Structure 1
């Protein structure tokens, strides 16, 4: 089978990437194929699961039409600038135009060393591959823009980190892999022609309407700012912590990318950090909007030569666009929160009402997901409040807040069952809880048992539905199950 590649990025000049094929592996074995995603992409799942298809997914065979390459980019990592990063363990096989008419990258992650590997082996361990598969597909089911996972393949080879681990390759699908760091790569080299070509490519791919704007590059920046503001708000509305919001992990497409030390809140606290490498809390849950704006400011800096002929005028344009981030984020965040508590429209005072709830949740270690899900039953009548009260160390904290909430619900006058249904449609019962993700990884890595992985995926595919047989997946961890640190996949 010939994959229907149409590789626009590969038509850019060679200084945008390094051309090379993936490094073959010893004994490729298909672990998981995302059948619905394959069909969305217009690919034949039966062929992908065949011996020939698995060789492509492992990097042992380069399919016809592919133009494999490793992309160049730079980035700020925890605030420090690195002028050259690039795909150190990933190869972009090419692009396909899916059934919906949208262009998608198909990339192999863990496919061997590249010129950007910085002495790394270019490989991926099985655990991080399964983590990304689980979390990215869960994010998609939650309605959050994200890269997707098409397949996971075991390599039959060990990778060496602190110890020997089974190796794997993830096939990642993305609207593109263009990052803030990609723009920084050309800006750092004062390569204005390269920067302009990249911006034009990004406009054509992600903001085609911007091509006709009076200032296309301003319109591009406005599009990226709007998408990132909406994305971070949607992360936070489900308690997601990215964990490593470096500029090389910030996409211009507005998709979530890279699921290394990511995690989901159990007990709510805005200062929560899980990443083992985030020692200062730079990427804590509540810091994510501020960091997103910081990253977007770095993007705006790279675009200054394109925004206006004079630097002062360019800075003014950039500042005007960046000033739009905060109101966009606040509207998305507050608008999402009011829906989570059963309200249809934001009114004056709602921000204070919701901030008070979050403060009480933080002080009482209330589970983020279960609090909002249980509120749906409480909205149907006071008899449903017991489950919410039980989540607070001091139930009186909830009792003091609930009358204000009920009074606000009464102002809208909707039927209690309608409110309950609307709340259940936006408050998931099931998220990829950290201890469950670790459990399925341990089963696969230590016992070659993928049954827990498959079971978790099936539950997370329907996050808003009642699943009586899956009730345990909705439970927070027991004290001995708590995950205190998550780790980067490299």
Structure 2
């Protein structure tokens, strides 16, 4: 039996929302399907490891329904601010929610797609995903998971043998369909759509769904929901900074209300601690630059608060928003200390160390991956100059949370800078050689083992 009866726990809770939250759709009929990546670790956790390749492709390339889950895919409706401009013409234009399951902790999971075909929200798009875009999403989600960033997990990547025309990469280019696992695909933009239409009943229903199904807090208090989202998104912003990650497009339709990062388009990892570093070539003003990401995420959460004013008073919503900064500061200290392999000592000491680290990184130009590798659970090497004296002194008071016995620490730091991403893609594009891709995934997972 391909479905593990102990771990496979199908759900269809999203159907309790009903209209006006989604549109039933059908997946595209792809010419061919070639499995390129399957996440067997995640599959084991949700009882799907037993699927053979043909069964896997049937469900995640042809989208045959999973038993006792959704009978038909659902394209979700939402609005959103895109680079601070409101857009009421959004929705799942090349993806859908395919199934729902429970994870091993009992939390609700959505299996969502990217590149699965056109929907009523495709506008002028073809509903497809480039294979390179799919490869980049696998790399981003695996790296972020290893660095302890709350993230969706890439579950499957299947090449679909279509030739796509794109204006931002050599065309025609290869196509793929991707499936991701995420704890819900409800976005801030989902709430914005209901506020736009002044639909109080649907707003209350959505608040109840998110609290009950995604936060396991039965109730319908919009202020409590905002408090939870503020706390989760503050952690997300902090973990982005500690990872050196730049999402690139932090629009309100790209912020999941569970605080879980997803939808990796023009992402990059910053080589150094450069607050002005951007990921998207079209982000000319640096709105979503590395150092502005906490501000950008808070701005999006403010749009959630504004939407919730449809059913709540302003003052308690504002009070909830005010907690973002006080949640972010300890979260960023905790995240940086985790990556340095240190045990936190207390808010004042931790903040002083973080400030010293940020100053030294900016002044020295040392690479982020190099620094975190060198400093993990040990003193700074002698090669770090005088600009690091304050960091060296502060670290003397911190205990290590782990040793450097793992084989990873006898090599070189695992990084994911843009040049390496391109180097991984080049042999795939030129001769269908996936060796560098597989080797990188192995290196990422070795790093994850060492850090944890």
Question: Normalising by structure 2, what TM-score?
Answer: 0.90
1:451/1:90 Cα in 2 relative to 1: closer, same or farther (>3 Å)?
A: same
- Structure number with greater Rg is 1
Matched, 1:451 2:435: yes
Distance 1:268 1:424 in 2: 27
Instruction: Give the 5 Å matches for 1:17-416.
Output: 17-47=22-52, 49-50=53-54, 52-59=55-62, 61-65=64-68, 66-162=71-167, 163-209=171-217, 211=219, 216-307=221-312, 314-338=313-337, 340=339, 342=342, 344-346=344-346, 348=348, 351-376=351-376, 379=379, 384-386=381-383, 389=384, 398-402=385-389, 404-411=390-397, 414=399
Residue 229 of structure 1 aligns to a residue whose secondary structure is helix
Residue 118 of structure 2 aligns to a residue whose secondary structure is coil
Residue 280 of structure 2 aligns to a residue whose secondary structure is coil
Asked if the contact 1:29/1:153 (under 8 Å) is kept, the reply is: yes
Residue 46 of structure 1 aligns to a residue whose secondary structure is coil
Distance 1:172 1:225 in 2: 24
Which stretch of structure 1 is more off in the superposition, 196-205 or 316-325? 196-205
Distance 1:70 1:419 in 2: 44
Asked if the contact 2:360/2:387 (under 8 Å) is kept, the reply is: no
Any runs of at least 4 consecutive aligned residues in structure 1 with deviations exceeding 6 A, and if so which? 422-425
Distance 1:400 1:245 in 2: 33
Distance 1:465 1:23 in 2: 38
- Matched with 1:472 is none
1:63/1:46 Cα in 2 relative to 1: closer, same or farther (>3 Å)?
A: closer
Distance 2:386 2:378 in 1: 12
Matched, 1:15 2:20: yes
- Matched with 1:461 is 445
Asked if the contact 2:245/2:270 (under 8 Å) is kept, the reply is: yes
Which stretch of structure 1 is more off in the superposition, 120-129 or 434-443? 434-443
Distance 2:391 2:361 in 1: 15
Structure 1 unmatched ranges of 5 or more: 308-313, 390-397, 468-490
Asked if the contact 1:113/1:121 (under 8 Å) is kept, the reply is: yes
Cα offsets for 1:151-192 (capped at 9, x unmatched): 110101111113211110001111110000011111111111
1:225/1:275 Cα in 2 relative to 1: closer, same or farther (>3 Å)?
A: same
Shift, 1:424, TM fit? 9.5
Say how many residue pairs are matched.
437
Question: Normalising by structure 1, what TM-score?
Answer: 0.83
Which stretch of structure 1 is more off in the superposition, 440-449 or 35-44? 440-449
Shift, 1:210, TM fit? 5.3
Residue 36 of structure 2 aligns to a residue whose secondary structure is strand
Asked if the contact 1:84/1:185 (under 8 Å) is kept, the reply is: no
Residue 382 of structure 2 aligns to a residue whose secondary structure is helix
1:98/1:335 Cα in 2 relative to 1: closer, same or farther (>3 Å)?
A: closer
Distance 1:408 1:236 in 2: 20
Q: Once superposed, what is the RMSD of the aligned Cα atoms?
A: 2.6
Shift, 1:450, TM fit? 1.2
